[in-house]
Amino acid sequence: MTPPLVNVTLPVCNEEAQLAESAHGLAIHLASQTACRWEILVADNGSTDRTWTIAQTLAWEGAGMNSTMVNLRAMHLDVAGRGGALKAAWQSSKAEILSYMDVDLSTDLKCLPTLLAAITEQGADLAVGSRLLPDSETTRGWKREVLSRGYSWLIRRALGLRVRDAQCGFKAIRREAAQVLLPQVQDNGWFFDTELLVLAQRAGYRVTEVPVHWVDDPGSTVKLLPTIWRDVCGVWRLRRPAG
């Protein structure tokens, strides 16, 4: 029986400093996970540094791997936006399970089997890594901790979302669910994750959260205040009645 093909997308924008090391580390780790075939897809979105050049080199070299179980490719979008990158990447993939993780690999790769098992063994349509579950282990500053818990409170109260941690960069989705949901997601930025989960819940898809071991990246380039404002605008849009 042919092992299932799993896509692991790395959405990147101006990540020349860590892309090569992270992609190589990910490829080496996946090569040891023989229960699946793997596709690593580096989705560059709007980079103005050498990120795209590095991504092309990685794809050409196959991330330095000599394995039929791991394939690495790259794609480029002119416009920045994690959501847009994920939509384009997932819609271009033939994998049965589509996933993504942050390029800094803040989530321990040892958590990946648990994420995928939620779909392959437990019947979930979407699996979501959560830093806010009792069994999760996180290392991050108080500011991001407070903002994360505040955002969790907002989306649970305003949108009725049962997921605690909508924004953790560690998710997987069954291909059939993605084909239905992705065309409905309007946001192409950081709010993409929340909107995808809200639409999935409203449509009756099964969403499962799994605990993660997560370490904050001190060099993160995410601008908190603009991101928070766009998230609030996204929440307001999803609260408005359709039509």
Catalogue the active-site residues.
193
Alpha-carbon distances of 178 from 38, 39, 95, 128, rounded to whole Å: 18, 17, 11, 14
- Six-digit token string for 5: 């093909």
Give dist(CA 222, CA 31) in Å, integer. 30
**DSSP of 40-86:** EEEEEES--SSHHHHHHHHHHHGGG---TTEEEEEEEESS--HHHHH
Using alpha carbons, select from 167, 136, 143 the residue that is nearest to residue 230: 167
